[in-house]
Amino acid sequence: MKLTDAEWQIMNCLWARYPATARGIAERLPKEVEWAYTTIKTLLARLVEKGAVKENKKGNTSLYEPVLSKQNARRNALKMLANQAFDGAFGPLMHFLIEDEKLTESQKNDLLKAIQKQDRKEKSK
């Protein structure tokens, strides 16, 4: 499932708080995003159609909530990026991040710790 830029905005709002009404989403979108209410409704309708969001009518108002989880969306997005731009593998992608982005000392430590933590978890299985 591929999300468009505009759809990510909506999903990010939804993941942050749901169920949510279109109105509520409108209020919680980043301030730079100034969409007409109906724009949001259109995007939500498209998301429902593609199965990323579920819609529940309460009275005359729809409540929306994510079906696609943030984690899966992220996984998909990374996978697609890896395929498209990093020879299909995460390794090169991570190397690129490590080598290209200037990591601060603490970010590095952070990562080292994260990797080691995973490592322990793995071993204790």
Site residues (CB under 7 A) for DNA? 2, 4-7, 21-23, 34-39, 41-43, 45, 59-62
Binds 29, which of DNA, a second copy, none (CB < 5 to 8 A, cut-off by type)? none
Q: What part of residues 78-117 is at the interface with a second copy (CB under 8 A)?
A: 78, 81, 84-86, 90-91, 93-101, 103, 105, 107-108, 110-112, 114-115
3-state secondary structure the chain: CCCCHHHHHHHHHHHHCCCECHHHHHHHCCCCCCCCHHHHHHHHHHHHHCCCEEEEEECCEEEEEECCCHHHHHHHHHHHHHHHHCCCCHHHHHHHHHHHCCCCHHHHHHHHHHHHHHHHHHHCC
**Is 56 in contact with 63 (CB distance < 8 Å)?**
yes
Report in angstroms how near the CB of residue 1 gets to DNA at its nearest: 10
Binds 110, which of DNA, a second copy, none (CB < 5 to 8 A, cut-off by type)? a second copy
Applying CB under 8 A, the residues found at the interface with a second copy are: 5, 8, 12, 71, 73-75, 77-78, 81, 84-86, 90-91, 93-101, 103, 105, 107-108, 110-112, 114-115, 118-119, 122
